[in-house]
Amino acid sequence: MTDTELASDLVVYAARLVRAVRRELELPAGTRVISLLDQYGPLGITQLADLDRCSQPTMSAAVSQLVEQGWVTKERNPDDARSSVITLSDAGRDELNRVRRRHGERVAELVAAHPDLTTDDLATAVAVLRGILSEGSS
Q: Write out the residues near a copy of itself by the rule CB under 8 A.
A: 1-21, 23-24, 27, 31-32, 35, 52-54, 100-101, 103-114, 116-117, 119, 121-138
Q: Cβ-count burial of 43 within 10 angstroms (0-12 exposed, 13-18 middle, 19+ buried)?
A: buried
Which letter does DSSP use for residue 137 in this model?
A: T
Per the CB < 8 A criterion, the answer to whether 74 and 67 are in contact is yes
Residue 94 contacts which entry, a copy of itself, DNA, none (Cβ below 5-8 A, type-dependent): none
What is the total residue count of the chain?
138
Site for DNA in 59-118 (CB under 7 A): 60-65, 77, 80-84
Residue ranges in contact with DNA by CB under 7 A: 19, 23, 28-30, 44-47, 53-58, 60-65, 77, 80-84
